[in-house]
Amino acid sequence: MIIAVQAHSAQQFDQYRLGSGDVIKISVFGQQDLMVETKLSNIGVINYPFLGDINLVGLTANEVEALIDKGLRGDYLVNPSVSVTVVEYRPFFIDGAVNKPGGYPYQPALSVNKAAALAGGYTERANPSKVLIIRNISGVETELEATEIDIIFPGDIVTVKERFF
């Protein structure tokens, strides 16, 4: 099933879910020994002080904050103030009618047009108004129709189609 990308763009990024390849920083106010900066592996499990192994893939930053707050509250700290930030997003991938297809570091508010520029620009036969994005939405890989002005997300696979003349 192919659907339009604009319907999911704003809603999905407001609730950005962590995935393999994201670099996150977890800090607890006043507790330097509880600061962790790590890249999520393929399985998405990190070892956090006092809590052991926790799986973060599929969680939002707010959900991770709540999970760590709950684990530390009471036994270790009276009122922990936990902060989780995404330091570096997982890469996106672009192929099709671009000069240098491959994986590239994600940057917020990245449009298809900007992604193509990172990939060396469009080829002569590119049709920037015909783009296919494969995006993981709620654990399901979904094909989205897009144009050069649509926004992409970390982990997206962008395919720029060719024109036929």
Q: What is the pLDDT of residues 73-122, one digit of tens each?
A: 988 888 999 999 999 999 999 999 999 999 999 988 899 999 999 999 99
Share above pLDDT 70 across residues of the chain, in percent, rounded to a whole number = 92
Backbone angles phi, psi at 119, to 5 degrees: -90, 25
66 pLDDT more than 90: yes
127 pLDDT more than 90: yes
Query: What CA–CA distance (Å, rounded) separates 7 from 13?
Result: 12
Query: What CA–CA distance (Å, rounded) separates 160 from 31?
Result: 47
Question: What predicted TM-score, i.e. pTM, was given to this entire model?
Answer: 0.77
CB 98 within 8 A of CB 119: yes
Average pLDDT over the chain, rounded to an integer: 89
* pLDDT in the model for residue 8: 46
- 2-14+90-162 CATH: 3.10.560.10
* pLDDT in the model for residue 121: 96
* pLDDT in the model for residue 7: 45
Domain boundaries, the chain: 2-14+90-162, 23-88
For the stretch 52-60, contacts whose Cβ atoms lie closer than 8 Å and that sit 24 or more positions apart, written own/partner, are 56/18, 56/24, 57/17, 57/18, 57/19, 57/20, 58/17, 58/18, 58/19, 58/139, 59/17, 59/18, 60/15, 60/16, 60/17, 60/18
* pLDDT in the model for residue 137: 80
Query: Which of the following CATH numbers is that of domain 23-88: 3.30.1950.10, 3.20.20.140, 3.30.200.20, 3.40.50.12280?
Result: 3.30.1950.10
pLDDT bracket for residue 15 (50, 70, 90)? confident
Report pLDDT digits (tens) over 22-41.
999 999 999 999 999 999 98
